[in-house]
Copies of this chain bind each other. A is one copy, B any other.
Amino acid sequence: MSAETRNRQQTLTLRKQFIGSSCKLFFPEDPVKIIRAKGQYMYDENGNQYLDCINNVAQVGHCHPEVVRAAHQQNLLLNTNSRYLHDNLVDYAQRLSKTLPEKLCSFYFLNSGSEANDLALRLARQYTKHKDVIVIDHAYHGHLTSLIDISPYKFRNLDGQKEWVHVAPLPDTYRGLYRENHKDPATAYADEVKKIIDIAHQESRKFAALFVESLPSVAGQIIPPPGYFQKVAEHIHKAGGVFIADEIQVGFGRVGKHFWAFQLQGEDFIPDIVTMGKPIGNGHPVACVATTKEIAEAFSATGVEYFNTFGGNPVSCAIGLAVLDVIEKEELQTHALHVGNFFMELLNQQKAKHPLIGDIRGVGLFIGLDLVQDREKRSPASKEAEFIVTRLKEEFIMLSTDGPGRNVLKFKPPLCFNTKDAESVVDKLDMILTELEIRKT
């Protein structure tokens, strides 16, 4: 049966029959069936066009012709494993190395961000010979057993916190321990990490790594205060551990000013390991770990091979190269910067108008609208956020919420998202916020 002959209800029935029920749908009460997409737009089976404000995987736009062409050309020629020499693998690694600090020159290719973070953990442990990990509160690093262990977002609802995992406060200057009125939140939050290390050392625990999303995303689109990474890196290095920057959600030009989100902390900051995933294949399953020669050599000193069946195959690398080409040719990083700034300006005008908007934070096309019931108390407006997302869907705009209170509207569209799209989102948002205010009075 082809895609066109089955209606939404039939697809849903089969989904309930055959797909594990832990796999959730957006809008489970009234899910959307998407059958094609182009750029920042998706289309359902009735031809309705949705503006996609969610998909940070389709980085250069859904079904970008150059990426699709690169995949097809390589698929026609060869798709095999990396135990044979192939130029795509080395070209891709070399190309990525040019976007990173020189020190990060050893690459591993894999199939998902989760695989990348798992390898990063293995690299850190092998290099340091230590086990413990510091993570940031509410972090999410992936769906694998090892990553649920280091993801407070997940382990709090599952097996709980392992003895080798230490949770540092989220460096959130809007809702966290130290806020915008603190004279030096970077140092204050970094000192919390130092405290954790000191206490653990008293119990003779030893640190392998500090694992940080360069911009904590499921935690509520958080932008850590600049200088925080340098300071915590110093603490973790002194403790014998390494700094792992998880760029899976936020890397690859999204933040506009820089190619990598960790660079927002300052030009002097260099992580020991960087993990990348989601956007780098524009939807194709590909991911990467970049690290230093020293860490790579310590990992190989065991003599144990690292083999990933699909990792670094010529097709994945051809797609990865095409994505880099498109970002460059279409100047999507600069585009993200300009459109992001324009979007933030429009949103800030809304903040003046609608008291529900407590905070607007963003860089490039990574933007969070923190909705509050009360601007003083900053109490999360969770229900309102859900209402807005549901209403936006009726207006054919796809958006999602995040943060521990699920009250943060989360913008992370494909990078081809433009100023007209931003205007359209803000118009609809204004309308819905006004609706909400009328209902309340």
**A145 contacts across to B, CB distance below 8 A:** 118, 121-122, 144-146
**A303 contacts across to B, CB distance below 8 A:** 157
Which of A1-42 touch B at CB < 8 Å?
1-3, 6, 8, 11-12, 14-15, 17-26, 31-37, 42
Is A352 located at the chain interface by the 8 A CB criterion?
no
Stretch at the interface among A194-202, A310-318, A328-336, A358-366: A310-318
| B85 near A8: Cβ-Cβ < 8 Å | yes
| B144 near A115: Cβ-Cβ < 8 Å | yes
| B19 near A300: Cβ-Cβ < 8 Å | no
**A1 contacts across to B, CB distance below 8 A:** 87, 91
The residue in chain B whose Cβ has the minimal distance to the Cβ of A155 is B304
| A85 near B12: Cβ-Cβ < 8 Å | yes
Is A76 located at the chain interface by the 8 A CB criterion?
yes
C-alpha gap A315/B62 in the complex (Å): 13
Is A275 located at the chain interface by the 8 A CB criterion?
no
Q: How many A residues are at the interface, by size bracket?
A: 35 or more
Is A277 located at the chain interface by the 8 A CB criterion?
yes
- Contact pattern, A 77-104, Cβ under 8 Å of B = 1, otherwise 0: 1111111111111110110010000000
A22-B305, A77-B63, A157-B304 known; A115+B115 contact, CB < 8 A: yes
**A111 contacts across to B, CB distance below 8 A:** 111-112, 115, 285, 310
Is A262 located at the chain interface by the 8 A CB criterion?
no
Nearest CB in chain B: distance from A250 CB, A: 14
Is A68 located at the chain interface by the 8 A CB criterion?
yes
| B75 near A68: Cβ-Cβ < 8 Å | yes
Is A284 located at the chain interface by the 8 A CB criterion?
yes
A15-B85, A20-B299 known; A143+B105 contact, CB < 8 A: no
Nearest CB in chain B: distance from A237 CB, A: 21
| A278 near B309: Cβ-Cβ < 8 Å | yes
| B63 near A300: Cβ-Cβ < 8 Å | no
**A86 contacts across to B, CB distance below 8 A:** 3, 11, 33-35
Nearest CB in chain B: distance from A441 CB, A: 35
Is A411 located at the chain interface by the 8 A CB criterion?
no
C-alpha gap A93/B83 in the complex (Å): 32
**A305 contacts across to B, CB distance below 8 A:** 22-24
The residue in chain B whose Cβ has the minimal distance to the Cβ of A55 is B80
A68-B72, A93-B19, A309-B112 known; A284+B79 contact, CB < 8 A: yes
Instruction: Please name 21 pairs of A and B residues whose Cβ atoms are closer than 8 Å in the assembled complex, sorted by A.
Output: A1-B87, A11-B86, A14-B93, A19-B107, A19-B108, A20-B106, A20-B306, A22-B108, A23-B306, A33-B84, A33-B85, A34-B80, A35-B78, A36-B78, A57-B309, A63-B75, A63-B76, A68-B72, A112-B115, A144-B145, A154-B304
Known: A25-B83, A33-B85, A72-B75. 9 other contacts (CB 8 A): A19-B82, A20-B106, A22-B296, A22-B299, A23-B305, A26-B84, A34-B78, A35-B86, A122-B145
Which 8 interchain pairs have the tightest Cβ spacing? A18-B93, A14-B90, A79-B283, A22-B306, A33-B85, A145-B146, A285-B285, A285-B310
